[in-house]
Amino acid sequence: MTDESGGRQAAKPTPRLLRNFISILGSAMSIASAASILFLILIELLDTRSNPYLGILAYIILPGFLLLGLGLIFIGTLVERRRRSKQGASELSPFPVLDLNDARQRRRFLSFSGFTFLFLFISAFGSYRAYEFTDSVVFCGQLCHSVMNPEFVAYQASAHARVRCVDCHVGAGAGWYLRSKLSGAYQVYSVWFKKYPKPIPTPVHNLRPAQETCEQCHWPEKFFGTQLKMFNHYGFDEKNTLTQVRMLINTGGGSPEKGLVTGIHWHMNIANEITYIANDDHRQVIPWVQRKDPQGNVEEFVAETGALTPDQIASSQKRRMDCVECHNRPAHVYVPPDRAVNESMFAGKMDVSLPFLKEKSVELLSRRFDTTDAAVAAIARDLDAYYRDNYARVYSAKRDSINAAVTEIQRIYKTYFFPEMNVDWTSHVDNIGHYYSIGCFRCHDGKHKTKTGKVIREDCNICHTVLDQIEGVKTIAVKNGSFQHPIDLGDLTGMKCTDCHTGKGLKQ
C-alpha cells in the first residue's frame, strides 16, 4: 500500500499540494466571486437602469475577492510545500516537472493555459469596465451621495445634464485620470470620517484649464453672433406684473481666417490674453487686471480702491482668464429665488393670478432652514395659511392653484437649495451678467484704470443691445439700445444693480 501510493504521489505532486485548507478556501472564494461577477454583469446587460452599487460590486469589490482567492490558492500551496519539505518529503522537487510528451500532462498544460488566457481576457474586460465605471456620472455624483448631492441635483437641471462629470473635471489622459483617482481616494477617506468641508469649496483647484475640457466641445473660434435673450421679471405687486426685456447679447467669437471677429468671446478669449489677481477665494474682488494683445502690448488696469503695491502684485498668484471666469456655473447653477420663481411663472407652472404670489414665493425661498424637510413642510404650511388668512375668497376658489404653487416652490427648493451642505446661490454665485451678482462688473466697473486713465468700460452697450421692453401691457421705447430702468435712476453707468436687486427681490 505504501509503495503504491508513494509512487502515485511522486507522479503527480501538484494536485495534492492544492489539497490544503488555505487553498481550498481560496478556490471557494474565487469560484464564488467569479460566478457572482458573471451573474451581475448579466443583470447589468439586461437591466437598462444603471445601479451604482451593482457597478461597484461587480467591477471593484468582487474582482478584489477573486484576486484574493487566487492569491490564497497560491499561498496555500507554498505553505503546504514548506510543511511537507520540513517533514522531509524528499521526493518533492523544487519546481513541478513539466513533460509535454506525457499526454496527461499535455492536456493539463493546455487547459491551464486556456484558463489563464480566459482569465486575463476577462480581467482586461473587467478593468476596462472598472475604469469606465469610476468615470461615470453615477460614480461621481451618486455614490458620494450626501456630499455631492447639491452638485449632482443642480447638474441634472442644467444644460450639461448629459455631459459626464469627468469631461469637465478630469478631461482626457492617463495623468489626469490618476490624479483625479488619487484625490478621489482622499475624498473617500474624508467622506468616511466626515472630514469634508460644507460646502465643498470652490474654486476647484485641480480643475483643468478650459482648453482641455470645455474646448473639446465648444471651441472659442466658433462664431455665435448675437444671441437673443429674453428676461422675464414678475413684480412684487399684487398683480405680479410682468416686465420683459429682450436684448441681443454680443457673444460673437470668430477667427481672423474666417472673418466675423467681434463680441464678448472675441475680446475676452481670442484677441486678448487677460490675467488678473483676486483678493478672495471666490474671485469676487479683483484689484489688478492685465491685458496683453497678440502684438505683445501690455496694459495694466488697477482698481481705484484697494490698489496693490508693486511688491504685492509681484508676489500674488495670477490667473489667466478662461471660460470658467465667466461661465463658472455651467453645470451646477444654484438659481436665486427671484430668477427661479420668474422662470416657473413664465413656464406656466405657477398661477400668476394669485395675489402677491411672486413676493410670497421669493420670501419663502429666501428664508434660512436647517434641513430640506423643514423647508418643504414650512413652504406648504405657510403659503396655504397666507391665502387662507388673507384671501378667503381666492383660497376657496383656487385651491388647486395654491397646491400647485406649493409643489412648484418645493421643487425649486429641492433643486437649488441644500441646507445640509450649506449650498445655495449665495455660497456659489454665478458670474455671468451683473444682475444677481456683480459678475462682469468685477472688472467692468469703470473704476479699473491704466496709468493714462483708460478704463475697463462699463458702457451699457458694449455687451448687449436692448431691443424692447414690455411692462405689463405697455411697451417702453428704447433709446439707442440702452436699457431704460423702470424707475428713473439717472445715468445707470457706474451703478451696481446688485446694490438694490438681490436674488431675494428688492432691497428696501
Restricting to residues 427-466, name those near ligand HEC by CB under 6 A: 428, 432-435, 439-440, 442-444, 456-458, 460, 462-464
User: What's the closest the beta carbon of residue 395 comes to ligand HEC, in angstroms?
Assistant: 26
CA separation for the pair 407, 275 (Å, rounded) = 45
Q: Are 71 and 31 in contact (CB under 8 A)?
A: no
Which range in 186-194, 319-327, 352-360, 361-369 contacts ligand HEC by CB under 6 A? 319-327
| Sequence-distant (≥ 6) Cβ neighbours of residue 418 within 8 angstroms | 149, 150, 153, 199, 372, 424
Among 62, 261, 324, 362, binds ligand HEC (CB under 6 A): 324
**Interaction pattern, residues 160-189, with ligand HEC; x per rule: CB under 6 A:** x--x-x-xxx--------------------
User: What's the closest the beta carbon of residue 408 comes to ligand HEC, in angstroms?
Assistant: 19
Q: Are 479 and 496 in contact (CB under 8 A)?
A: no
Question: Residue 247: which of 483, 430, 439 has the closest Cα?
Answer: 483
Q: Considering the rule CB under 6 A, would residue 63 count as an interface residue with ligand HEC?
A: no
User: What's the closest the beta carbon of residue 417 comes to ligand HEC, in angstroms?
Assistant: 13
Which range in 326-334, 349-357, 385-393, 403-411 contacts ligand HEC by CB under 6 A? 326-334
User: What's the closest the beta carbon of residue 287 comes to ligand HEC, in angstroms?
Assistant: 10
CB nearer to ligand HEC: give 129 or 229.
229
Q: Considering the rule CB under 6 A, would residue 108 count as an interface residue with ligand HEC?
A: no
Which range in 6-14, 108-116, 284-292, 412-420 contacts ligand HEC by CB under 6 A? 284-292
**Interaction pattern, residues 369-408, with ligand HEC; x per rule: CB under 6 A:** ----------------------------------------
CA separation for the pair 242, 342 (Å, rounded) = 9
User: What's the closest the beta carbon of residue 79 comes to ligand HEC, in angstroms?
Assistant: 46
Which range in 6-14, 52-60, 120-128, 197-205 contacts ligand HEC by CB under 6 A? 197-205
Question: Residue 456: which of 347, 344, 301 has the closest Cα?
Answer: 301
Among 321, 341, 350, 357, binds ligand HEC (CB under 6 A): 321
User: What's the closest the beta carbon of residue 260 comes to ligand HEC, in angstroms?
Assistant: 15
Which range in 60-68, 137-145, 383-391, 410-418 contacts ligand HEC by CB under 6 A? 137-145
Q: Considering the rule CB under 6 A, would residue 497 count as an interface residue with ligand HEC?
A: yes
Question: Residue 97: which of 7, 13, 3 has the closest Cα?
Answer: 13
CA separation for the pair 246, 233 (Å, rounded) = 11
Among 208, 233, 358, 360, binds ligand HEC (CB under 6 A): 233
CB nearer to ligand HEC: give 76 or 330.
330
- Phi, psi for 100 (deg, rounded to 5): -75, -10
CA separation for the pair 398, 123 (Å, rounded) = 62
Among 152, 196, 223, 416, binds ligand HEC (CB under 6 A): 152
Please, how many CA atoms are within 13 Å of residue 90, restricted to the half-sphere of its CB? Answer: 0
Which range in 20-28, 65-73, 177-185, 322-330 contacts ligand HEC by CB under 6 A? 322-330
Question: Residue 99: which of 20, 14, 4 has the closest Cα?
Answer: 14
Cis peptide before 203 (omega within 30 of 0): yes
Show the cell assigned to 425: 446661490
For the CA atoms of the chain, what is the radius of gyration? Answer: 33
| Sequence-distant (≥ 6) Cβ neighbours of residue 33 within 8 angstroms | 62, 63, 65, 66, 69
CA separation for the pair 455, 119 (Å, rounded) = 67
Q: Considering the rule CB under 6 A, would residue 424 count as an interface residue with ligand HEC?
A: no
Show the cell assigned to 62: 468582487
